[in-house]
Amino acid sequence: MNAVVIEHVPLDQLPEAWRARLAPHQAERVTVRIEAEFESPDMPVTMEGDSGIDDPAFGIWRDRDDLADVTAHVRDLRTGRYGSDGRRRT
């Protein structure tokens, strides 16, 4: 992905719409990064053709009868083995 990065831009040189999104007196200079967007964030994502929904792995946790809270179980699986203090989680 190509990006243009402009560092140390004075706030008064930014477009008004950009300045309005910044907190007042947040900084005197900012770094601007401009990247091409391939999809608009306002556009809904549509699945066409072979979307993978027929794949047996899709929704694999949803049908588990032995888990009361599937979301919590998967979140626990995704957590790291060690906490922020360096101790191993039990």
DSSP code, position 88: B
In angstroms, the CA 55 to CA 15 distance is 47
| pLDDT on residue 71 | 81
Could you tell me which of 73, 48, 47, 45 has the C-alpha nearest to residue 60? 73
Could you tell me which of 63, 62, 60 has the C-alpha nearest to residue 71? 62
| pLDDT on residue 43 | 65
In angstroms, the CA 79 to CA 61 distance is 17
Per residue in 42-78, pLDDT (tens digit) is 666 666 665 556 777 777 767 778 888 878 887 888 8
Could you tell me which of 59, 57, 7, 67 has the C-alpha nearest to residue 33? 7
- For the chain, state the CA radius of gyration: 23
Mean pLDDT over residues 6-30, rounded? 86
Per residue in 19-38, pLDDT (tens digit) is 888 877 767 888 999 988 77
Q: Who has greater pLDDT, 62 or 12?
A: 12
pLDDT band at 7 (very low <50, low <70, confident <90, very high): very high
Estimate to the nearest angstrom the gap between the alpha carbon of 81 and the chain centroid. Answer: 22
Q: pTM (2 decimals)?
A: 0.37
Q: Who has greater pLDDT, 73 or 9?
A: 9
